[in-house]
Structure 1
Amino acid sequence: MDAGVRLARSHRTNTKVAAVLKKRMQTTNERFARRVNEATTAQPTDPLAVMAASMDPRNWYSYAVDATQRSVLFWEALWQRGNNFVENTAQGLKPVLHFEYEMVLDGRTFERPVNYALLCITPPVGVTVDPALRPYIIIDPRAGHGPGIGGFKDDSQVGVALRAGHPVYFVIFFRDPEPGQTMLDVCHAEQEFVKKVRALHPDSAKPALIGNCQGGWAAMMLAASGPDDTGPIVINGAPMSYWGGAWSEGEGDNPMRYAGGMLGGSWLASLTADLGNGKFDGAHLVQNFENLNPANSLWDKFYHLFDKADTEPPRFLEFERWWGGYYLMNREEIEWITRNLFVGNKLWGGDVKSSSGSAFDLREIRSPIILFASMGDNITPPQQAFNWVADVYGSTEEIKARGQVIVGLLHENVGHLGIFVSGKVAKKEHAQIVSVLKTIEGLPPGLYGMAITETRGTGDEAEYEVEFREHRLEDITAR
């Protein structure tokens, strides 16, 4: 690429970024004006009534008592959050799983040790699993936080699979990486986990892989390097095409994907790892999430805690136990991720070899792939979750010729974490994915959209109808 082309490309990019920033500032001003208007119009419009209320000492007394009580509960919750952080850190940051479990394999004992382990989830009282049913293996994201968010509560990916009678296994990781471990070592260890699950359930179908966020592309690496051992793959909010996203479609401007270009690529991750003496602190990744919406990070969530001080602390503390636990990566791991995924897409381009020496080729996957994304996700927008299909497969005919079934499921508004944390999403989308997985395996090769329609059941619980609509890759790409 000559200098003239680079200059023109840089000018176009700068123009687009400037337009996006201008629009976002305009949106911010509009929201601020709306909030101010709501605050002012909510008060009595009669000046005499306002003055009379302000002069009544009983109102001042009631306000002072209420504010004092809320303040005590608010600061007690923050004090407890700090104590929880110290306690969790001292215990080595245990997984935040809601369920009991037992360890099946510890990757720290492998020939190439890694800080990963395979857990078997113990069914709660009243729930029975059938060892002959397809086992589920859930891989949580190693993106700054710790593991367990896929089984954070009873209504979760773990919960819906258990209640459907399936054995559930969970891939966790420990805070500190093993010296010298690489992402390829992690992939090899996860292959061993899958083989172990298959050995434990020889009469069942191949295990289903559930990958959340970063765990999604980890599951795809695992399936691409060992396609004969894995069953259907469900990846939730998983960034497979980091460069994908809208430039100018309202609030879907996906600001996180600008960071690499604006900051100059992958050097910042390398520098941070150097400053950490070869260790990259996951707190930096969490700070990236916080920077996406500073209003929420610095104000909204604390205001909500103060506003609901009598009911909100338990939920706040439970979530902060996960959100405030930071895990480490080796320099080699974060550099591998930034250079092979964030920048250049070398992984899916075939430039990266697995431990066996062959390139990771997503077209080698033979099991159905279910992609779950949300329009409300500003960390992994639908373009990043779906666009890799158009990059890897040349046409609809190629998808069919390779015998591949790819199913897309799109939520309208849930945020990134809600995709694999929300109880409502678990009871609807994840429960329906579990219930129709066998149907998906029976679909003819092709590209499908999955639609879930709620119908009112005989009791209080809602019932759902699932429909699969076939699409052509060329039509989707044109949009």
Structure 2
Amino acid sequence: MLSLMPTPPPAVLSCLDPFGFGRAALDYWRDSLERGTLYLDVMRQRGNQYLEHLERTKPNVLGFDAEVLLDGRSLPRPVNYELMRVLPPEGVETDPLMRPFVVVDPRAGHGPGIGGFKSDSELGVALRAGHPCYFIGFLPYPEPGQGVEDVVEAEVAFLRHVISRHPETAEKPMVVGNCQAGWQIMMAAALEPDVFGPILIAGAPLSYWAGERGHAPMRYTGGMTGGSWVTALLGDLGAGLFDGAWLVQNFERLNPANTWWDKQYRLYANVDTEARRYLDFERWWGGHVVLGGREIQYIVDNLFVGNRLSTAQLVTADGRRIDLRNLRSPVVVFCSRGDDITPPPQALGWVRDLYEDTDDIVANEQTIVYCVHDSTGHLGIFVSGSVSRKEHAEFTANMDYIDVLPPGLYETAISRAEDRPDAELIERDYLLEFQRRSVEELGREIQHRPDDDRRFAAVARISEINLGLYRYFVQPWVQALATPESARWMRRLHPNRMGYRLLSDRNPLMVPVPVLADRVRRERHAVGEDNVFRALEGVASSQISRGLEAWREWRDRSTERLFLDIYGQPLLQALVGLAGDAHVHRRRPGAEPEHRRFVQRRREEVRARVAEGGSHEAVMRSVIHVLGGAPATDGRNFQRLRASRAELEPDLRLADFKDLVREQFFILELDREAALAAIPELLAGQSAAEIDAHLAHIEHVLAASGDLGDHAAQRFAGIRRLFERAKPAADG
């Protein structure tokens, strides 16, 4: 009977044995002291690393060697940005004829380099794919008088320089903008669309009022502080400079459980193995930079509070409207449901803000692709190795295909090749598919609420009033009292900065720490997970973390409720001029006359070319028509068509091939019936043998993605009949 009873775990047995219990307590006590010493030494190394990083002239955390090509300080409108060429690591070769790949890093409190932080990163993926890579970074301090528009113009100048370095490549650079850099390059692309190839914006907020209730706490910040006057105050106290540590502190407040406990406990609990990874990340996270007071005020007033970018209300100093509908490059939006800094509604809401429906997107010849990750956090979008190996690798590999997708809205789905029934047809580890979506379907992700629009419009009005009062009554006094020296001391005493300085070798109290740590490493006595006290430590840590998480949820719910109650008051809205439907903040900009004329002229040009061309146009139009009938498509057919076309027409450049694909896509979108009816006319003059060869070629291309579905097969049968009709009559 006793033999049938389960054996208790070792931790329980140690409690039953008084001698074992005492031994476990002693072992845990010694292990915890050793871990505490090693943890303190890691904090000391972190502080030293922080100070060394700040003292560098051009600090960054790039994991690749790079050379500066163009210094933004030498431009007509100087900025603290610079263009660098990323040197491929040993064993990696790049092809200068391939499309250049440019990564722009965010300047949102941290220093540059996160896009190339390690080998499995955006830059690492592109280098291994053979692309010449470039990086747009920045220096710790802005140039005097530098503004957001100056930075946008500098990025355009950098891209023009990249293009000039690759005269043989007809492809415009692919540009990746992370977080804050995402909306910045979108502004640049709206002003100068001709210098951009495909654009990938990762974790970039463009529609700041959007968000799902209960999951977007940062969007309430402006309302709860009374608007942007606080930003102006901090800029004035900084003698015209704004400390990026304030932005970092805002990010940390979003997740107090991780900031105050989990991140530190993870290091303490695994200090023997976790130190290197922790220090590598802290080198970037603690690399605080400074923004100009003008820059941050522009950002907060026009984007965070005013939401003017996604509604085409921004106008440059020289009178140019920044309208994202001007983009001519495909835009890939990568976001995540686990991101509390840029949730999907803020990353995708600009599509709904600008376009009435999918037909409106097509009329503007705009291709928008979006990918929503299920779980990764904000930093994981551009730091996580698994995300780089999967999503970023697939975006890079399929960028040529994305570049020729027809105008419209698409959602991507990534599946593991080995899990698919057609695995033998897939050359890579994953398959990236594109599914057509409507603006209405996207709305389920955005969850737009008109009553929230009115609340945020009230915040924008109140912000303007409070900022005006601050500038009139308070700003002159603050500016008179603030000096560069007082601003320097304010930055040094910021809590986020002081934590690094106090736990460094510059603090005399830390002198014995490295000596004790070296001794502990030589005589380490780590306990296993079976130690009962170590197990209780883990339980206690989980409880602390859950307590902080519960407090965060209560805080966020209370803040949201307070925001909705205050700014939802009809009287308050009336006082700021928002009473009545006629005065509601307009979300979707109207089509200006010149924009409507451009769309109409473009349609007429395309209609005129329906029957122009020859067999190339007929084959391409046929393939696109058949594939267009599928619910989802991927790049396999494009790659086979591209390869076979290179064999049949070796003189046809890739850029010309893409132009052919794009034009035939658009012709079919505009008038499908007329486009198909013109196929026999395009094949006029071809012999029966040549037409049969074209059909065989089409069949070969379509086979790349497996058997055709019923709908696609019906379309191909219709194409076959059109080709048969084009055959010349047999000689009688």
Deviations 1:125-184 (A, max 9, x none): 010101110001111110000110000000000000000000111000100000000000
Secondary structure of the structure 2 residue equivalent to 1:311: helix
C-alpha distance in 2 between matches for 1:193 and 1:356: 21
1:376 aligns with 2:376: no
CA contact (8 A) 2:14 2:21 kept: no
Equivalent in the alignment of 1:187: 152
Equivalent in the alignment of 1:149: 114
1:267, distance to aligned residue in structure 2 (A): 1.1
2:315 to 322, 328, 353: 353
Aligned residue identity for 1:411: H
1:214 aligns with 2:186: no
What TM-score, normalized to structure 2? 0.57
Equivalent in the alignment of 2:197: 231
1:73, distance to aligned residue in structure 2 (A): 1.4
1:348, distance to aligned residue in structure 2 (A): 3.3
Aligned residue identity for 1:170: F
1:352, distance to aligned residue in structure 2 (A): 2.3
Equivalent in the alignment of 2:103: 138
1:112, distance to aligned residue in structure 2 (A): 1.2
1:472, distance to aligned residue in structure 2 (A): 1.0
Deviations 1:5-26 (A, max 9, x none): xxxxxxxxxxxxxxxxxxxxxx
C-alpha distance in 2 between matches for 1:238 and 1:188: 19
Counterparts of residues 322-471 of structure 1 (less than 5 Å): 322-354=284-316, 357-456=319-418, 463-471=429-437
1:321 aligns with 2:303: no
Aligned residue identity for 2:217: P
CA contact (8 A) 2:336 2:343 kept: yes
1:299 to 261, 268, 274: 261
C-alpha distance in 2 between matches for 1:314 and 1:255: 32
1:476, distance to aligned residue in structure 2 (A): 2.4
Deviations 1:65-120 (A, max 9, x none): 21122122111100100111111111146110000000000001112110000000
1:60, distance to aligned residue in structure 2 (A): 2.6
C-alpha distance in 2 between matches for 1:108 and 1:122: 23
Give the % identical residues: 50
2:241 to 270, 279, 295: 279
C-alpha distance in 2 between matches for 1:307 and 1:92: 36
2:87 to 122, 141, 149: 122
CA contact (8 A) 1:234 1:371 kept: yes
CA contact (8 A) 1:93 1:146 kept: no
C-alpha distance in 2 between matches for 1:389 and 1:476: 9
Counterparts of residues 57-206 of structure 1 (less than 5 Å): 57-92=22-57, 94-204=59-169, 205-206=171-172
| Aligned length in residues | 431
Aligned residue identity for 1:372: F
C-alpha distance in 1 between matches for 2:296 and 2:266: 35
Which structure has the highest strand share of the two? 1
CA contact (8 A) 2:312 2:324 kept: no
CA contact (8 A) 1:93 1:325 kept: no
Moved more, 61-70 or 260-269: 61-70
Moved more, 468-477 or 414-423: 468-477
C-alpha distance in 2 between matches for 1:163 and 1:75: 39
Secondary structure of the structure 1 residue equivalent to 2:63: coil
Secondary structure of the structure 2 residue equivalent to 1:211: strand
CA contact (8 A) 2:311 2:350 kept: no
C-alpha distance in 2 between matches for 1:202 and 1:356: 31
Equivalent in the alignment of 2:470: none
Measured at CA, do residues 135 and 221 of structure 1 come closer, stay the same or move farther in structure 2, by a change above 3 Å?
A: same
Deviations 1:338-363 (A, max 9, x none): 01100121233333223653111111
C-alpha distance in 1 between matches for 2:225 and 2:437: 38
Secondary structure of the structure 2 residue equivalent to 1:310: helix
Which structure has the highest helix share of the two? 2
Measured at CA, do residues 63 and 196 of structure 1 come closer, stay the same or move farther in structure 2, by a change above 3 Å?
A: same
Aligned residue identity for 2:359: E
C-alpha distance in 1 between matches for 2:414 and 2:210: 26
Secondary structure of the structure 2 residue equivalent to 1:97: coil
Measured at CA, do residues 89 and 396 of structure 1 come closer, stay the same or move farther in structure 2, by a change above 3 Å?
A: same
C-alpha distance in 2 between matches for 1:184 and 1:45: 63
CA contact (8 A) 2:337 2:376 kept: yes
C-alpha distance in 1 between matches for 2:161 and 2:9: 64
Secondary structure of the structure 1 residue equivalent to 2:124: helix
1:260, distance to aligned residue in structure 2 (A): 1.0
Deviations 1:218-244 (A, max 9, x none): 110111110011100000000011111
C-alpha distance in 2 between matches for 1:344 and 1:179: 25
1:59, distance to aligned residue in structure 2 (A): 1.8
CA contact (8 A) 2:14 2:24 kept: no
CA contact (8 A) 2:15 2:21 kept: no
C-alpha distance in 1 between matches for 2:443 and 2:22: 66
Secondary structure of the structure 1 residue equivalent to 2:175: strand
Equivalent in the alignment of 1:27: none
C-alpha distance in 2 between matches for 1:351 and 1:413: 33
1:397, distance to aligned residue in structure 2 (A): 0.7
Secondary structure of the structure 1 residue equivalent to 2:272: coil
Moved more, 49-58 or 153-162: 49-58
CA contact (8 A) 2:14 2:20 kept: no
C-alpha distance in 2 between matches for 1:358 and 1:62: 70
CA contact (8 A) 1:156 1:422 kept: yes
CA contact (8 A) 1:188 1:355 kept: no
Secondary structure of the structure 2 residue equivalent to 1:177: coil
CA contact (8 A) 1:54 1:60 kept: no
| Structure with bigger gyration radius | 2
Secondary structure of the structure 2 residue equivalent to 1:332: helix
Aligned residue identity for 2:395: I
1:55, distance to aligned residue in structure 2 (A): 6.8
Deviations 1:251-274 (A, max 9, x none): xx1211111111111111111111
Secondary structure of the structure 2 residue equivalent to 1:184: helix
C-alpha distance in 2 between matches for 1:69 and 1:162: 42
What TM-score, normalized to structure 1? 0.87
C-alpha distance in 1 between matches for 2:108 and 2:14: 54
1:44, distance to aligned residue in structure 2 (A): 8.5
1:63, distance to aligned residue in structure 2 (A): 1.3
Q: Which runs of 5+ in 2 are unaligned?
A: 1-7, 448-732
1:256 to 186, 201, 218: 218
1:299, distance to aligned residue in structure 2 (A): 1.0
Secondary structure of the structure 2 residue equivalent to 1:453: strand
